[in-house]
Amino acid sequence: MTDDQISTPEEFKALAHPIRQRMLFLLGERPATTSQLALTLDTRKGNVSHHLKVLRAAGLVEPAGSRQVRGGTEQYYRRTARRIEIADAQPGPAAAMLRAVSEEFSEAPGDPLLALRHLRLTPEQAERLHDTLLTLVSETEEAEDGQPRYGLLVSFYQQPSASTPE
């Protein structure tokens, strides 16, 4: 699996729905069929098929083999990227993606962490913190199958300058 930068309207649209977010989360764990996803997500197979079609069109999932069952063939799907980054800071698509993550976050068991902090940093400090966060996201090793999965959302940005009143 590679890393992926999201930049097209199709990719943002695909990430804007909470079910598609959850599907990507599940497909990062292991490949699954439409039936398996429908059961796990407690929704209809037709609904899952629609969302898989959107994710496939955006290039975020791909076929991962098939198996014969009584009535035909079941197709497995997997996520194409290990990590997803937003390439361009566009308010509309980024807000839609963050809404979907917010819904997942609000349903998370345990004590999820959400923190926002504004800091004054020199350019060198900002670069060092950026690189540290990127390393953390990129190089954290995953545990073996069977362990709980966790979502990690990292954002680092320079705040826009405040307008000076005239």
- Summarised one tens digit per residue, pLDDT across range 62-100 is 999 988 888 788 899 999 887 777 766 666 666 766 777
Helices 18-29/45-57 angle, 10° precision: 80
Q: What distance, in Å, lies between the first and last C-alpha atoms of the chain?
A: 52
**Residue 4's pLDDT is what?**
63
The domains located in the chain, with CATH, are: 2-113 (1.10.10.10)
| 19 contacts 47 by C-beta, under 8 angstroms | yes
| CA pseudo-torsion sign 100, 111, 130, 26 | negative
Residue 164 has pLDDT above 60, yes or no: no
Question: Is pTM, for the whole model, over 0.85?
Answer: no
- pLDDT score, position 89: 62
In DSSP terms, 83 is beta-bridged to 3
Element (H, E) at 5: strand 2-6
